[in-house]
Amino acid sequence: MGIEAGTPRNAAAPSARLAGKVALVFGAGSSGPGWSNGKAVAVTFARAGARVVCIDLDPAAAEETVSIIRHDDGSATAASCDVTNSDAVRAVVEDAVAAHGRIDILHNNVGHATMGGPVELDEAAWRRSLDLNLTSCFLTCKHVLPHMLAQRSGSIVNISSVAAVRYTGYPYAAYYAAKAAVNHFTVGLALQYAREGIRANAIMPGMMNTPLIFRQIAGQYADADEMVRARDAACPMGRMGTAWDVANAALFLASDEAAYITGVALPVDGGLIARAGS
């Protein structure tokens, strides 16, 4: 598959920034046409010189991301994995270490917004949402951290959400709970492993225009056009962000330029949290 039409060339990602590093990106595919956060992160990491393992539940989505990276003469391989299955995560991690000898960057991008409050959600949906958004981070860290500890270096970036710290207007109780937990899980990682050369940070995207919102959020509006208008209007900048905004933040946090930054939950939200607190 050739490079996707309209692929941005990110001048902020010179090839030296991640040269020689091996990055595992969980959730590197896209749930629909266009650029998901994970897909943009994987491509950005590769353009910055990393060897990227693109991991997704959908093998075709992972392969599409790899195709884009290879079109850019980057280095990438694809893997399929259910991030809620510990054995599957372990196998992917072991394969990556066998192929590359190390893991320098772990990027956790898997997430799902299940609508419903405590009354509407059944217990299985609640647990599934926690597993996808939170347990997935626990499992990838469980299997990657021993390798980072052995090499006494590594950077972990977990994708959280502004929903971790504020009500966004959507009735997704499990998502609020899970993303808040991701933030504090990240802080715990950062402090526990700070003296081991391992950093951990989170990114909190705000109102983003990615394929996921058309699958998981659009049902809260009359139609997709109304959703886009409403979400654009809700942002202080007057527009939603893009996957590339998240990717640029992830690149910085994963790189040695952020060598003295750990335990941070970074909003990438066009001022959404700042306005809520004013």
Residue positions annotated with a catalytic role: 175
Closest by alpha carbon to 179, among 230, 114, 234?
114
Chain CA centroid to CA 150, Å: 25
- Cβ-contact 260, 22 below 8 angstroms: no
Q: Which two tokens stand for residue 184?
A: 């504090």
Q: Which two tokens stand for residue 49?
A: 């010189």
- Cβ-contact 214, 224 below 8 angstroms: yes
Which DSSP letter does residue 208 get? B
What's the rounded Cα separation, in Å, for the pair 4 and 69?
Answer: 10
> What's the longest Cα–Cα distance across the chain?
52
Provide φ and ψ at 110, rounded to 5°. -70, 135
What's the rounded Cα separation, in Å, for the pair 78 and 163?
Answer: 30
What's the rounded Cα separation, in Å, for the pair 46 and 105?
Answer: 12
The string of DSSP letters for 261-275 reads --S-EEEESTTHHHH
Closest by alpha carbon to 247, among 31, 22, 47, 33?
47
